[in-house]
Amino acid sequence: MQSPWRDKEIWRGYAGVVFLVLVLALCGQAAGSEIRATSCSIPSPGETGECTLILDRVSPGLSEFEVQVTLENPAVGKITGVRFPSWANLNSKSKVPADTVVLKGADAGRKVGPGQSEVVLATLTIRGDTAGTCGIQVVVLGMKDEAGSPYLIPGKDGTLIVREPPEEIHERENTAGSSSLLPQDMVFPTNALPTLTPSPPGPEVTAVPEGSLPIPPDSLIEDDGGTGDHDPANPAAGVETGALCIDSEPGGALVTVDGQIIGTTPLCLALGEGAHQLFVSAEGYTPWDGEVIVSLTGQPHLAHIILEEEQVYTITAGTGAHGSVHPPGSVRVMSGDSAAFTFFPDPGYRLDRVQVDGVWYDAKSPVWFEDVTADHSLWGTFTPIPPPVANFSANRTEGYAPLGVLFRDQTTGEVSGMLWEFGDNTSSFETSPVHTYLRTGSYTVSLEVCGAGGCNLSRREHYINVREKEPLIADFSANATSGPAPLCVQFQDNSTGNPASWSWDFGDGTNSTDPSPCHLFATPGIYTVRLTIVADDGVTEAAKEGVVNVGPPVIGGSVGFFEVRCPAEGAHVFLDGRNKGQVENGSLTIPVYVTGTPSRIIQVKAEGYLQYYGYLKDYPMEGETIVLEIPLQPALSNGTAPARFQVPPLMGNLSFSGSSPPV
């Protein structure tokens, strides 16, 4: 590197001169995930800019986040607004405008999954109040993965720069010639700055050679009485100072010293002894940020900074009707950087398709461009969201008061809210509510559902009918209440009040839970029959008793048996028109007197089957059992089949001899 001040003899002549040390701050990607704040540059006080919070990598997934953002110098600006991305549909923020905001968001729709990168958590709008620079501090208060388990990641601060209005910079340069911190006789013309050729990128800082610049007057060097105190707003007051002249390539770069905008290059200024933060930036160039150390000297010193030109690409973003994209228009992106674009549909619309560089893709938002090395185009279209179609059902539509009904939502389409009206001046916002009707009546039920595409109403007139419940009264009748043993009695339940269960006690040590059972009293005696019924509430019950008188068998009467086998459970069996009982467990045993007049006709009736009608050719002898197989035929649903069918006399008859069944 060539320099007009490389002569060693000149450096020996300036042995007492304190040199300036410039340190480059190199920032690299930290290992693991982090939440960083992008830098925000505001053209002048009173205007606004945006800062984005970005989660660089979603390693374990993301369900919730809580982040605190603070402007380290409240005088420079204020946070005036927060905008959350569409996936953070549950979100909150502390009050703005403020110096500090706490942001909370949740991914209820599970749109952010493990492995995603560069996820935008929020975008902050910042208002610049005074020209200057301050840090944007990021503190991560909490993170939860997809399973809801907490984990910790660091925050990475950003920088807020509020530039001084160009007219004020120009006015100061015209009035002061360089920096207002210098006395009038220390204003240096721009042609006094020599041309340097340092190794790019970076500055060359050196002492001005003897005779090229005047020696600073004694007025810049004052004794502070040994206290070391000085006014930071006026480094030349009460402290020994040195002079610094700054030039840059390109010229006109903005110079910020210790967070305060000083002006544009070339310029000279007086600085108090010690370390100072120097920031030099120009549009389209990579800014330079470093530390300078100034000490007392008799001559001004020169920093010549060469800024590296940035490679900038343009991403042009736009949309069709009924929506927007942010950021819109032509967005400049530095080479190797990333950019995110989020689509915002109008109410009642949704993102339909996305075109990137002329190629159409399915809807996706946000769209990320990573490691940009070329120009791109982005376009989005929107389509109306169809309204949902309301529909519902109920587990019951009639019954006795109080009547509990479960309503089931069967709506199709996207639904964000619903309202049930039950017809009795009550309502519900639940998806599938349970409602109890306390009074009798006929009720109209309606369900209104709403979504992004609109609302829809389903209304059903007189849908629920509630009746007055009859009192629970037990009652029954019997086809016979007296007769010789063995006596088969058919009981018929005549209870009211819609009983839920029945319990029969026949008085001979046997019982039944059938509603209308048939019972055989085998031995003579007087039997008290008791029926107990229980309501559907499981508590209320009623009972009735009746008497059956069974006399002794007919003198000389011997007994044989018919065993009727039938597939229809509960079928009623009749001999010569007299009910002999019901089929249970596939059969019914009927005792008959072999010395009496034999029965000739058998009939079998069962619900859902044609009535069986046949003739008995064989009759049992004493102690004999004849098995009768009854082939019931199912009735046709259209009702065109005859009411009964007849079989040949010997069909299904089978007899065998043996001891009589116990009676």
Nearest alpha carbon to residue 604 among 627, 577, 585, 626: 577
Task: Specify the higher pLDDT residue, 576 or 433.
Answer: 433
Q: Is the pLDDT of residue 545 over 80?
A: yes
Nearest alpha carbon to residue 594 among 564, 619, 625: 619
Q: Supply the CATH classification number for the domain 392-467.
A: 2.60.40.10
Q: Is the pLDDT of residue 380 over 50?
A: yes
Record: fold of 476-551 = Immunoglobulin-like (2.60.40)
| Structure-block tokens of residue 517 | 């059972």
Strand pairing category for 40-42 and 158-162: parallel
Task: Specify the higher pLDDT residue, 536 or 662.
Answer: 536
Q: Supply the CATH classification number for the domain 35-162.
A: 2.60.40.680
CATH for the 559-656 domain, from 3.30.1490, 1.10.10, 2.60.40, 3.40.1000: 2.60.40
Whole-prediction pTM value? 0.34
d(CA 507, CA 547): 9
Could you tell me the strand order of the sheet in which 417-421 lies?
398-400, 454-467, 441-451, 417-421, 427-428
**Mean pLDDT value across residues 575-596:** 85
CB-based contacts of 268, cutoff 8 Å, min separation 6: 178, 179, 182, 186, 187, 188, 243, 244, 245, 246, 300
Tell me if domain 476-551 and domain 559-656 are identical in fold: yes
Look at residue 301 in the predicted model and tell me its pLDDT: 65
CB 648 within 8 A of CB 583: no
Reported for 84-89, long-range contacts at CB under 8 A and 24+ positions apart, including other chains, are 84/121, 84/122, 85/120, 85/121, 85/122, 85/342, 85/366, 86/342, 86/344, 86/365, 87/111, 87/112, 88/121, 88/122
Burial of residue 297, with CB atoms counted within 10 A of its CB: 0-12 exposed, 13-18 middle, 19 or more buried:
buried
Look at residue 54 in the predicted model and tell me its pLDDT: 92
Biggest alpha carbon distance in the chain? Answer: 160
In the chain, where are the structural domains located?
Answer: 35-162, 167-189+198-224+231-306, 312-384, 392-467, 476-551, 559-656
pLDDT, tens digit (0-9, with 9 covering 90-100), for 257-301: 988 888 888 888 888 878 888 899 988 788 888 888 777 765 666
CA torsion, ordered 647, 648, 651, 654, to nearest 10 deg: 130
pLDDT, tens digit (0-9, with 9 covering 90-100), for 127-175: 999 988 999 999 999 888 877 888 888 999 999 999 887 666 556 555 5
Residue ranges with strand state E in 258-356 = 260-264, 267-272, 274-281, 288-294, 301-306, 312-319, 323-326, 329-334, 339-345, 349-356
In percent, the amount of the chain with pLDDT more than 90 equals 33
218 — pLDDT class (breaks 50, 70, 90): very low
Query: Could you count the other beta carbons within 10 Å of the beta carbon of residue 456?
Result: 20
